[in-house]
Chain A
Amino acid sequence: MAHILVVDDDVLIRVMVTKMLENDGHRVTTALDGAEGLRLFREDPPDLVLADIIMPTLEGLQLIKTMKQIRDDIPIVAVSGGSRHISMVDNLNLAEIAGAEATLPKPFTKKELNAALIRAVS
């Protein structure tokens, strides 16, 4: 059981991922943009972060970089469904460069979500 911070601008995704993670016994906090995510990250440091990169621009990348500067021991999973200007493969590559331990393309199944969490902490 871990404390997981979920940052995503899509409310449906926040609700869904929260349910999935809570069903597995995790504690979940959610943020709808980079600023809120960063505030929660500082106030109540999680064990793991699940961050969407496109919200709706590439601000998730900056978020990952900043979080890594604050605490580089907290693993981050970067999530992306691609965007108008940059492909999914490319922005997930960028997220790894920014410091994310694991990446997860959208849409994902519960199994894929769990696998990404395990990749990030191992």
Chain B
Amino acid sequence: MPGLHVTTEQRYSTLLQQVIFAPNLNAREEFLAEAFELGRGALSQDAIPPDELVAIHHNAILCFSQKNPDMKLCDVVDLLTLPLIEMSMAYGMSFREQLEKQYRALLDKRLQESHRLEAVGTLAAGIAHEFNNLLCSIIGFSELAFEGLSDEEPAKESIQQVLVASLRARDLVSTMLQLARKNSGLPSEEIDLISEINSVIKLVDVREKKLEINFSSGVPNAFITAKPGQIQQIILNLCINAADAMEHCGTIDINIESTTSDECLTGVGESAICITISDQGTGIPPEVQEQIFNPFFTTKEPGKGTGLGLSVVHRMVEDLGGRILVESRTTGGNNGTDFRIILPFVDKDKRGTSCQKKCSLYKAHNHGG
């Protein structure tokens, strides 16, 4: 019986994948019809437990909306879910309610999140000019005052503090600006993940004396399409978080592998690359995990964290057409956190027609915003 579950579920989820990657509307309709035929049968024979079905749909909706950024999430939900709701009517109102409640919650959460990000981005862009001008005077006049004072002058140290603080404010503004999506005019290019990650490791090595980073790659030619600097920023933010979680002492493991296990990205003829960054730090309790990608969410002391790191990472990974997953253990001896980033893969060896098609797909996605 359990074996049967797996296959029906897999077939069902494959069909939904085909819906997601359907080349045109007709094909999409056909796959949808087929999926619901299978779903109906499975439900009536109890071959797929209702909550499994909901989970599969939940994933499909997320992927579909990622693949079709121009489509409103509510339309995506309509497309993938309404037929399912219809067919499940016969199986009782409670199932229907459960489905609707879950999707409503999902919708609300995603909406809230995107509104909040949008608000931060707009706010940052709106005040950037004025704010940067003010900061420019604060920094400049402090430097002038600093130079004008002799070393015995007690005010000299105070001015130094003003300078340090205003340089931190400058970093904060620039981080906030990265939340505004279209912040970089630079075009995307093919980026070598291994050399990007190595450069970040060098940077972290200088800052973190008691920290060791193990980096291994199972993919010799790990190329992806990104804007210059994006990957470094993503990895750096995750490494800083890992270092903080281990109180700056311990080992961070970074690993690259190609993956076909992530159905959401790989489905039909797509290949993906997975970067895992693991630490043996405190771990993240489930109730905190829900919030870590929110802008300004931090558990760190004032001055130690702004809570923008992961929201910038999340935004960038989305821009690259990828996904970020977190897995964390807070109890037992093996506590720690794994962040997995799954990105579309440019396979240098197999670059043929299929790859060209794939690249243009990602380009279209990237430049769509």
**A89 close to B (CB within 8 Å):** yes
Beyond A20-B144, A107-B138, A107-B139, 12 additional pairs, beta carbon < 8 A: A82-B129, A82-B177, A84-B125, A84-B126, A84-B129, A89-B184, A90-B185, A107-B140, A108-B139, A108-B140, A109-B143, A110-B143
CA distance in complex: A107, B165 (Å): 13
User: B136 contacts A108, CB within 8 Å?
Assistant: yes
Residue ranges of B at the interface with A (Cβ–Cβ < 8 Å): 125-126, 128-129, 131-141, 143-144, 147, 166-167, 170, 177, 180, 182-186
User: B128 contacts A23, CB within 8 Å?
Assistant: no
Q: How large is the interface on A (under 10, 10 to 19, 20 to 34, 35 or more residues)?
A: 20 to 34
Which single member of A20, A83, A90, A108 contacts B129 (CB below 8 Å)? Answer: A83
User: B147 contacts A13, CB within 8 Å?
Assistant: no
CB distance from A30 to the nearest CB of B (A): 14
CB 8 Å contact bits of A99-122 with B (1 = contact, 0 = none): 000000111111000000000000
CB distance from A76 to the nearest CB of B (A): 18
CA distance in complex: A83, B140 (Å): 21
Which single member of A10, A20, A93, A110 contacts B133 (CB below 8 Å)? Answer: A10
Tell me the nearest residue of chain B to A109, going by C-beta: B139
Which single member of B128, B143, B167 contacts A81 (CB below 8 Å)? Answer: B128
Main secondary structure of the interface of B (DSSP, over half): helix
User: B147 contacts A89, CB within 8 Å?
Assistant: no
Chain B positions within 8 Å of A19 at CB level: 144
CA distance in complex: A53, B335 (Å): 52
CB distance from A49 to the nearest CB of B (A): 18
CB distance from B198 to the nearest CB of A (A): 25
Tell me the nearest residue of chain A to B125, going by C-beta: A84
Which single member of B128, B136, B138, B184 contacts A83 (CB below 8 Å)? Answer: B128
Q: How many A-B residue pairs have CB under 8 A?
A: 80
CA distance in complex: A62, B143 (Å): 32
The answer to whether A23 and B133 touch (CB under 8 A), given A82-B125, A108-B139, is no
Residue ranges of A at the interface with B (Cβ–Cβ < 8 Å): 10, 12-13, 16-17, 19-20, 23, 54, 56, 81-84, 87-90, 93, 105-110
CB distance from A37 to the nearest CB of B (A): 17
Which single member of B129, B132, B144, B186 contacts A23 (CB below 8 Å)? Answer: B144
User: A13 contacts B129, CB within 8 Å?
Assistant: no
The answer to whether A110 and B140 touch (CB under 8 A), given A13-B133, A82-B177, A88-B177, is yes
Tell me the nearest residue of chain A to B133, going by C-beta: A10
Closest 9 CB pairs of A and B: A81-B132, A107-B136, A16-B140, A12-B137, A107-B135, A82-B128, A90-B185, A106-B132, A106-B136
CB distance from A25 to the nearest CB of B (A): 14
**30 sampled A-B residue pairs with Cβ under 8 A:** A10-B137, A12-B137, A12-B141, A20-B143, A20-B144, A54-B129, A81-B129, A81-B131, A81-B132, A81-B133, A81-B136, A82-B125, A82-B128, A82-B129, A82-B132, A84-B125, A84-B126, A87-B177, A87-B180, A87-B185, A88-B128, A88-B132, A88-B177, A89-B186, A105-B132, A106-B133, A107-B138, A108-B139, A109-B140, A109-B167
Tell me the nearest residue of chain B to A105, going by C-beta: B132
CA distance in complex: A10, B130 (Å): 10
Tell me the nearest residue of chain B to A11, going by C-beta: B137
User: B132 contacts A107, CB within 8 Å?
Assistant: yes
Which single member of A13, A23, A88, A109 contacts B137 (CB below 8 Å)? Answer: A13
Chain A positions within 8 Å of B167 at CB level: 109
User: B147 contacts A23, CB within 8 Å?
Assistant: yes
